[in-house]
Amino acid sequence: MHFGKYSLNEYCRLVESFHGSLAPGMLMGGIMVNAVIERIDKAKLHDALCETSSCLPDAIQLLTACTVGNGWLHIVDLGRFALTLYEKDSGKGIRVFLDAGKTEEWPEIRSWYLKLRPKEEQSRERLTDQILKADISLLGFQRVEVLPPFLTKRTKGEIAICPVCGEAYPKNDGPVCRACTGASPYVC
């Protein structure tokens, strides 16, 4: 089994280094990313849309050129374990998701995915074994087209100095930076 250019062992080491632990979501996520990559036109440039903020975005960043930092990975946290790779110009892509209906014969996966038992009562070894054995049989696929706002290239535009705090910010945000308008996450 391979995850992109990595063997299973290489991917597991990479996951532990990048994600902090070999989480089941990273293993399942790697399988999902591989499956969708096999189904897209590799001659085209793609962005990714991830429907959860847990685990799956890290698998996408490890196995594709799509990252949060370069703006090619969009996280729209709908709480669903799903991702889409789509063409940058047309928005046409393939969505892959972990299909809960297909987990019936995999009790450890079902228990983990649907949170039927607390994490400490789950067998990590059995769960990992079942994920590797089930492989893509747990996945559903859909052809989709993403909405136009995800196709526009985001740019900061002109940069200004905020007259209130003195920090640089995108001038398109208004006469002062967003933090000084009350959008700061900090107690000041």
pLDDT in tens, 22-31: 899 999 999 9
What pLDDT score was predicted for residue 156?
Answer: 72
Span(s) in the chain for CATH 3.30.60.80? 155-188
Span 172-187, mean pLDDT? 91
Span 158-185, mean pLDDT? 94
Hey, what CATH topology would domain 155-188 get? Answer: Wheat Germ Agglutinin (Isolectin 2); domain 1 (3.30.60)
Span 84-106, mean pLDDT? 96
pLDDT at 2 over 90: no
Sign of CA dihedral 171, 174, 177, 178: negative
What pLDDT score was predicted for residue 1?
Answer: 84
Hey, what CATH topology would domain 2-150 get? Answer: 60s Ribosomal Protein L30; Chain: A; (3.30.1330)
What pLDDT score was predicted for residue 150?
Answer: 83
CA 75 to chain centre: 7
What pLDDT score was predicted for residue 97?
Answer: 98
Average pLDDT along the chain? 93
Rounded to whole angstroms, the Cα distance separating 144 from 100 reads 20
What pLDDT score was predicted for residue 152?
Answer: 76
Judge if pTM exceeds 0.85: yes
pLDDT classification of 84: cutoffs 50, 70, 90: very high
Span(s) in the chain for CATH 3.30.1330.130? 2-150
Span 61-71, mean pLDDT? 94
Span 45-61, mean pLDDT? 96
What pLDDT score was predicted for residue 188?
Answer: 66
What pLDDT score was predicted for residue 155?
Answer: 73
- Identify the CA nearest to 67 among candidates 46, 81, 87, 82: 46
The residue behind tokens 């299973």 is 8
Q: Contact, 71 vs 154, CB < 8 A?
A: yes
**pLDDT-above-90 percentage for the chain:** 79
What pLDDT score was predicted for residue 62?
Answer: 95
